[in-house]
Amino acid sequence: DIVMTQSPDSLAVSLGERATINCKSSQSVLYSSNNKNYLAWYQQKPGQPPKLLIYWASSRESGVPDRFSGGGSETDFTLTISSLQAEDVAVYYCQQYYGSSRTFGQGTKVEIK
Amino acid sequence: EVQLVESGGGLVKPGGSLRLSCAASGFTFSGYNMNWVRQAPGKGLEWVSSISSSSGYLSYADSVRGRFTISRDNAKNSLFLQMNSLRAEDTGVYYCARDGSVHDYWYFDLWGRGTLVTVSS
């Protein structure tokens, strides 16, 4: 199985500041035939199910604020929150869908400093 | 409203069985691959099982293969997970999740609120 490793495990950012979460896969999730990275990002607030934010590494799901952006390729990816808002406090997960067994990172908890 | 609603969770003894259900509404259920994803208390997310739109393809995580069975009833817009030989490590919230792809197995674009399964003596 492809192992997904996120860093850091947690981070505290001031309101209005940038938050960056990293995700590294144990093998490339870039499919050469269509040049797409099979990687998604989710947000999970306390007591709620996960919510899809980003797919294909950088495509924003409908309704997701544009302060959320995804980047990277092959094995190294980032989720950036350009200006942290109070409602962004949550745990964020990356997930690969390249392998037959879809796997998630361990999660990164984002808090307000 | 587009939604998934899980039910069937509860407390069960080790070695016991439980059947989870997921009722879909607001979209053409028969057109989507569906999944179960679980989350142990205070832990991260783990994909459990997937089923194709026509039930022709089933897949399982190694941790549940041989013990869990996924199925669906498109006429009733319902997804199921039969869980047998339950272990303490199966404890967690089980989410029903719609696949973002009609023909493949990608990201999960719609989630239910989950149902809690507790395996304890």
pLDDT (tens digit, 9 = 90+) per residue, A63-96?
A: 999 999 999 999 999 999 999 999 999 999 999 9
Q: Which of B85, B96, B94 is nearest to B41 (CA)?
A: B94
The answer, yes or no, to whether residue B103 has pLDDT greater than 90, is: no
Secondary structure E strands in chain A = 4-7, 10-13, 19-25, 30-31, 36-37, 39-44, 51-55, 59-60, 68-73, 76-81, 90-96, 103-104, 108-112
Across the interface, do A49 and B111 touch by the CB < 8 Å criterion?
yes
If you average pLDDT over every residue of chain A, what do you get? Answer: 97
Mean pLDDT estimate for chain B: 96
pLDDT tens digits, B9-60: 999 999 999 999 999 999 999 999 999 999 999 999 999 999 999 999 999 9
A106: its two tokens: 């361990």
B96: closest CA of chain A, how far (Å) = 10
Question: Looking at residue B70, what is its pLDDT?
Answer: 98
**Percentage of chain A with pLDDT > 70?**
100
Residues of A in contact with B49 (CB under 8 A): none
pLDDT of residue B82: 98
Asked whether the predicted pLDDT for residue B102 surpasses 80, the reply is no
- The pLDDT score that the predictor gives to residue A100 is 82
Residue of B nearest to A53 (CA): B109
Q: b/e for A36-56, b at 16 or more Cβ within 10 A?
A: bbbbbbbbbeeeebbbbbbbb
Question: Using the beta-carbon criterion (under 8 Å), do A101 and B105 form an inter-chain contact?
Answer: no
A24-72: pLDDT as tens digits: 999 999 999 999 999 999 999 999 999 999 999 999 999 999 999 999 9
Quick one: pLDDT at residue B104?
82
> Which of A103, A105, A107 is nearest residue B47 as measured by Cβ atoms?
A103
Alpha-carbon distance of B50 to B105, in angstroms, equals 8
